[in-house]
Structure 1
Amino acid sequence: MEREEDDRQSHRGINGGSNKKMVIVFTGAAALLAVALNFAFNAFKSFKHRRETKDLAGSIVRVNLSGNEIRKLADRIIEESKAVHDAVASVHVDKVKYQDIMMLAELEARQFPLVQSCVFPRLVSTSEDVRQASAEAEQKINLYIGSCRKREDVYRVVKAFAAREEWINADTKSYVQSLVRDFEQNGLNLTSTKKEEVQRLLAQIDELSMQYVQNINNDCTFLLFTESELEGLPSELIQVFDRDNDEKIKVTLKSNHVLPILELCKVGATRRRIAVGYGQRCKEVNVPVLETLVQLRHKFARLLGYDNYAEFAVGSRMAKTSAKVFEFLEDLSTSLTDLAAKELAGLKELKLKEEGSNLFGIEDLLYYVKKFEEDRFHLDFRALKDYFPLSLVLQGIFKILQDLFGLKFEEIVSAEVWHEDVRVFSVFDLGTSYLMGYAYLDLFFRDGKYGQTCVLPLQNGSLSTNADRQVPVVLLMCEFLIEDGNTPALLRFSEVVSLFHEFGHVVHALCNRASLARFSGLRVDHDFVEIPGHVFENWCFESSILKLISGYYQDVTRPIKDDVCNSLRKWRYSFSALKLRQEILYCLFDQIIHSTDNVDFLELFKFLHPKVMLGLPILEGTNPASCFPHSAIGYEASCYSRIWSKVFAADIFASKFHDGGLNHHIGMQFRNKVLAPGGAKDPLECLLDFIGREPSIQAYIDSLAYSSV
């Protein structure tokens, strides 16, 4: 049986392999079921509305640069940037004007697409030389940008302007304050001794963070099993594993080996052994590294005037304070207690029936969740894949975006691209024909391409001093398998959900109308940036939408059946209370160690685990702190953010799009009130304006209860 991704709302996402390129230009918000059949008949045809051009008007993004061109462009970027920073630094602090500071804003808007032109080839190019040049350029530019944020001469000028509070508008105020924050996070407002200490701490933190992650990546530990000990795994998976001289199966402690065993293996002792081994990775080396890292982060935060690192990390986010994060996590955990207990009781009963024991451990969670779902929902995800041809799903998304948000996608068939599979679309406002921006779609697997699904802004929208608007340009990348000669590219359902999520980011980038590039594209609050993607995911669980985007690949007039739509909706949240409490456990650990001194990591886990996981103890001999990379690099003190965005997105959908339909009026309100303001406006104010109140956790709790066991 094909293993469906455990994360029901992961990010993914289009058929670039065919020579028949398509654009959807439906109008109005007609009832979906009424148009579904006619829509499906046209699924694989070409469309009339195309624009043939090599250049994208308003875009200065450069594609297909050679390695040498990338290196030269990187040098020119740094040279121009240095000239502008020098010019700002030369202004006397008593004479600094708005126009002087705006030189930096104009520089950002002008250079961002050029920087991205240097950087994104590392992710997509088929040329090893180009990828290498792009990686070198990225490192060189990043080092230079870091040095700019340490320039005391520029800081003095910006700080002098900020002190006068002569704001032209709210965006200018936000921009100048963000500049000041960048400088002061490098210690430029401190004494020379403390500033040097900040720089030393930042260097140590970077080094140790990379060491922690590298230790995990380099771990080559494996365990040996007989075939009988791996009962339940499909033969094709067994064949993937290496063998030792005694023909025992070698299972590494990498997630791509561990997770299938935890989910599919019938032997409880094997699941436990694998889970313990997975939790013991790098225990001897990484626990002391993380302990040192946390101490250094606290020192760094206190030099900048914060009580602890959590307050520093959360202070610029929607949550604002660590106390608010704790309140959010604890309220959510408490609200889920009864449902999670009911879920756990159901799993224990299953284990008792299958293994004759109800001594349920955390290592049993994935296996019995999957078994319960198979018994209850009867969803064959391998067969379901045949109902989601990529081109049909993409057309459905275009129609939804048009009906909801008034966005019309038109393909540019002769645009310059870096690979023949890449497709480019102009995106227009349906009502005014105003050009909103451009979207590149590079969605098929190929050697050398970045192996994760993501949305990357290539050019941020902005408004110049002479009121000319620079349009946004965005790239969506996925790793779908290309079609063979006779079969179209087909999506797993998790990939359908992911494609919807990523188009939420595409729409956000295109509809962001911030006047300054720093607050445009996806440059918004980190607690807020995932919310549009999570909101948009909801539609692919609505029956009318599922019928619109599905059709058997040999006869696309046959969408999935009503009972399958029903099962998918319930499956979406099955056992989510128990899984979410497990996620909350790690978020609490992350927040506690970054808000408290001298925490014993193992003792903290031993206390939290049974408390949050309803009596289930931590696995003996493990210390999750040894292999918890989100606390080591990138997400320290902010692991909660993923849950935060999912919960508030559920509230938005339930309160405003509750019927699951494509309400154009509400969609345009969402576009104008939530997506358009960009990063210059407090996202909580945007949500208050749209919902009419502060966001709540209740809608998410209610959605989980819908799939109660």
Structure 2
Amino acid sequence: MRRKQYNKSDFLWTQWNAHDINLAVHQYLDTKQKRYADIKALPKEQRTFANTILALEAADYTVVDGVTCVDFLMHVSPKKLVRETAKKAVDFFLEKNTELEFDEGLYRALKEYAVKKEKLSGEHKKLFDDMLRNYRRMGFGLPTRQQNRLKTITKKLNVLSVQFSKTINDYENSITITQQEAKGLPTSYLTNLRKNKRGQYIVTTSYPDFFTFMKYCSNAKEREKLAHVFFQKGGKQNLFLLKKIISLRNERARLLGYKHHGDFQTEIKMAKSAERAFRFVEDLIKKLRTKTREDISLLTQLKRTHTGDQSVKLAYHDLLFYITKHKKETLDLDDTLLREYFPAERVITGMLDLYSKLFSVTFKRVKRFPLWHKDVQLFSIQNKDSKEIIAYFALDLFPRSGKYGHYAAFNVIHGRQAFPRKEYITPVASMIGNFSKPSKQHPSLLSHNEVETFFHEFGHVMHQTLTKACYASQSGSNTARDFVEAPSQMLENWIWDKNILRNLSGHYQNPRKKIPENVLDNLVASRNHMSGYFEMRQLVLALFDLKAHTTNTIQNLPKLFSDLGVKYIGIEITPKTSLFPAGFGHMAGYSAGYYGYMWAKVYAQDMFTCFERSGLLNASTGKEYRTRILEKGSSMDEVLLVTSFLKRSSTNKAFLRSLGL
């Protein structure tokens, strides 16, 4: 099917000002209202799949694209007024959209079609079944009073969730240190830091500043100071918002007949129930307890040796410092020196070359298209056997004030078939990163961990852009939330292969100079270094998320997280003054779903066994993976997708092996 081809005018939304944003959102609401009115006006005897089910699905087309662009600008625009206007516009749209969605006339139209009992199959049946379930989950069929309360709750949750996320993005804090207090920090890191009028370095809570500081600063008091301000992210305001959000989520769940929000959320995921998600997490915790204790014991002993105090305890602000020190001493790995072999541009080029071979596509830089910031790069994707552009993606890789502070892939335009035209809407995605900025002394240099993150997030981009799903609600990464990470997690495996690392690396001063073989051996051997601690921390986050959404009376969320850390990791992993959940952005989108990272990894590692057998750059296996996983989205049940690719049922053997168990 022919793909829609874009030109510069299709990217003018990146230049929208406050007036443009407000005008666009009102137009989108008017468009959707008219489409819904047409659906409701049809006589019941004339109802068909096309004029009712497909029409309900397509009522959001162009509307969601536009609002997604506004939401995206809220996260990335360098202009504060645009971000603030976008936030208000998204709030306004969500409120009005809820009024449109909670319409008994739409539910009546759906039921009028349902009684015809037309025989459907494949993605069409799945679309219909999911739509019926979603209307039930909105409360249709309940008494009017309860349905109105659900509508009110939905509106409040929409506003509060956007505010929760924006507060995290807007958080800015820092500490200042003198040259003497900067002992242990790499010169390249200090060069990139701003200074105040007294000549002191300003260390912010942005990811590049924070994590490098915590890994290398040998001054424990300064690490403690930075950790303190970092774990205030979101502030007491977000802590209050989060409690309110959780309370409203649980109220909604009970109104719909669920025990709690955990069961409401997991019903539409692979886990199907909070109890099963709990069992999964708790079973892994048991398997990792011994390795976690061993890791913490090693780090504690290292601190005692380093300080000369045999009674000293390991603290939360010591973890990354002594993990880095232990890696250097036992594996002779220095992350600072490794960075020199991973200049960002070299990694981008090598990664695109790899994905090109794996999925039989060609990437081309697109210039002179309007974009939201000068640092952003835009690329087109073409099939190797065709010159037709099948997708676009942007890379926005460096931090700036007000920008989304983590790493993520945004699905800006969803791929789908255009109705009634026989044309496929070309998807557009964007990867947002916060890698260290280039300086006068050197280009942006990535740690190996950041290279892994790059591969992970770009895996989402591939999922979003290589889709061939018929419907937008089933395209790209619109899958069950406990599966959505699997395609990206699987692709992380590539950066642990020596040949791949040779191709990705090249010293920033001399690209022909590759990572020395002995260092490469040690790097690959480090894959499970301190994996007990790192994986247990993920499980503690998952358990915290599940407990927060399955217990109705949790007053002290920071204490809940701290207690779980002490219980399963063995030490306090945040300061006593920590407001950590207030800055845990996943509580907005992944509510009762953070376990999904580990759940998805089971499938990711099992799928990777196919490439282990055939070769990491085997184009035939790549084509199978692209066809059976990436192109399908959620047009089939996720278990069936994996089974189709593996040609057998999935097991957790490869997953446990990847954890060193």
**Fold-level match, TM-score > 0.5?**
yes
Q: Which moved more, 1:310-319 or 1:172-181?
A: 172-181
Paired positions, count: 650
Is residue 410 from structure 1 mapped to residue 364 from structure 2 by the alignment? yes
- 1:535 CA drift (Å): 1.7
**Is contact 1:212–1:290 with CA below 8 Å preserved after alignment?**
yes
Is residue 538 from structure 1 mapped to residue 538 from structure 2 by the alignment? no
1:308 is matched with 260
1:73 is matched with 24
**Distance between the aligned counterparts of 2:439 and 2:203, measured in 1?**
32
Aligned to 1:672, which of 624, 627, 630?
627
1:612 is matched with 568
- 1:88 CA drift (Å): 0.8
**Cα distance per residue 1:260-283 (max 9 Å; x no partner):** 675456576887788789779999
- Structure 1 pair 210–418 and aligned structure 2 pair: CA distance change class (3 A): closer
Aligned to 1:389, which of 323, 338, 343?
343
2:507 is matched with 552
**Is contact 1:404–1:663 with CA below 8 Å preserved after alignment?**
yes
**Distance between the aligned counterparts of 1:264 and 1:421, measured in 2?**
28
**Distance between the aligned counterparts of 1:343 and 1:274, measured in 2?**
24
**Distance between the aligned counterparts of 1:135 and 1:515, measured in 2?**
31
Is residue 684 from structure 1 mapped to residue 639 from structure 2 by the alignment? yes
**Distance between the aligned counterparts of 2:580 and 2:350, measured in 1?**
43
**Distance between the aligned counterparts of 2:210 and 2:399, measured in 1?**
24
2:6 is matched with 56
- 1:536 CA drift (Å): 1.7
SS for the counterpart of 1:108 is: coil
SS for the counterpart of 2:281 is: helix
Q: Which moved more, 1:222-231 or 1:175-184?
A: 222-231
**Is contact 1:162–1:177 with CA below 8 Å preserved after alignment?**
no
**Cα distance per residue 1:126-183 (max 9 Å; x no partner):** 5666556544543443333322221221222123323544254332233234434444
Q: Which amino acid aligns with 1:156?
A: R
**Distance between the aligned counterparts of 1:599 and 1:135, measured in 2?**
29
Name which structure has the greater RCO, CA cutoff 8 Å, separation 6+: 1
Aligned to 1:98, which of 46, 49, 52?
49
1:11 is matched with none
- 1:367 CA drift (Å): 3.0
SS for the counterpart of 1:388 is: coil
Q: Which amino acid aligns with 2:38?
A: A
Q: Which amino acid aligns with 2:33?
A: K
**Distance between the aligned counterparts of 1:216 and 1:443, measured in 2?**
19
Is residue 430 from structure 1 mapped to residue 384 from structure 2 by the alignment? yes
TM-score w.r.t. the length of structure 1 is 0.78
Aligned to 2:599, which of 640, 644, 651?
644
Is residue 88 from structure 1 mapped to residue 39 from structure 2 by the alignment? yes
- 1:325 CA drift (Å): 0.9
- Structure 1 pair 635–243 and aligned structure 2 pair: CA distance change class (3 A): farther
- 1:305 CA drift (Å): 1.7
**Cα distance per residue 1:54-111 (max 9 Å; x no partner):** 9727995544554344444333322222111111121234542222222233333344
1:25 is matched with none
**Distance between the aligned counterparts of 1:414 and 1:619, measured in 2?**
46
**Distance between the aligned counterparts of 2:467 and 2:142, measured in 1?**
36
1:47 is matched with none
- 1:457 CA drift (Å): 2.5
1:175 is matched with 127
**Is contact 2:194–2:201 with CA below 8 Å preserved after alignment?**
no
Equivalences for residues 107-118 of structure 1 within 5 A? 107-118=59-70
Aligned to 1:350, which of 285, 302, 312?
302
Q: Which amino acid aligns with 1:663?
A: N
Q: Which moved more, 1:320-329 or 1:580-589?
A: 580-589
1:46 is matched with none
**Distance between the aligned counterparts of 1:167 and 1:109, measured in 2?**
25
RMSD: 4.3
**Cα distance per residue 1:455-492 (max 9 Å; x no partner):** 22232222234543222222334455665689655444
Q: Which moved more, 1:615-624 or 1:639-648?
A: 615-624
Aligned to 1:341, which of 259, 273, 293?
293
- Structure 1 pair 84–564 and aligned structure 2 pair: CA distance change class (3 A): same
**Cα distance per residue 1:584-615 (max 9 Å; x no partner):** 123223213422444575886687445422x5
2:608 is matched with 653
**Distance between the aligned counterparts of 1:267 and 1:94, measured in 2?**
76
**Distance between the aligned counterparts of 1:328 and 1:521, measured in 2?**
26
- Structure 1 pair 698–59 and aligned structure 2 pair: CA distance change class (3 A): farther
**Is contact 1:108–1:517 with CA below 8 Å preserved after alignment?**
no
2:323 is matched with 369
Q: Which moved more, 1:226-235 or 1:396-405?
A: 226-235
Q: Which amino acid aligns with 2:108?
A: R
Q: Which amino acid aligns with 1:371?
A: K
SS for the counterpart of 1:521 is: coil
- 1:122 CA drift (Å): 4.3
SS for the counterpart of 1:680 is: coil
SS for the counterpart of 2:514 is: coil
Equivalences for residues 225-624 of structure 1 within 5 A? 263-264=215-216, 293-355=245-307, 356-357=309-310, 360-363=313-316, 364-413=318-367, 415=369, 417=371, 422-431=376-385, 435-443=389-397, 450-463=404-417, 464-479=419-434, 489-598=444-553, 608-613=564-569, 615-616=570-571
Identity over the aligned pairs, expressed in percent?
26
Q: Which amino acid aligns with 2:105?
A: D
**Is contact 1:630–1:639 with CA below 8 Å preserved after alignment?**
no
Q: Which amino acid aligns with 1:100?
A: N
Is residue 189 from structure 1 mapped to residue 145 from structure 2 by the alignment? no
**Unmatched segments (≥5 aa) in structure 1:** 1-53
**Distance between the aligned counterparts of 2:126 and 2:215, measured in 1?**
48
**Distance between the aligned counterparts of 2:289 and 2:472, measured in 1?**
44
- Structure 1 pair 457–146 and aligned structure 2 pair: CA distance change class (3 A): same
**Distance between the aligned counterparts of 2:115 and 2:270, measured in 1?**
25
**Is contact 1:326–1:588 with CA below 8 Å preserved after alignment?**
yes
TM-score w.r.t. the length of structure 2 is 0.83
**Distance between the aligned counterparts of 1:549 and 1:251, measured in 2?**
30
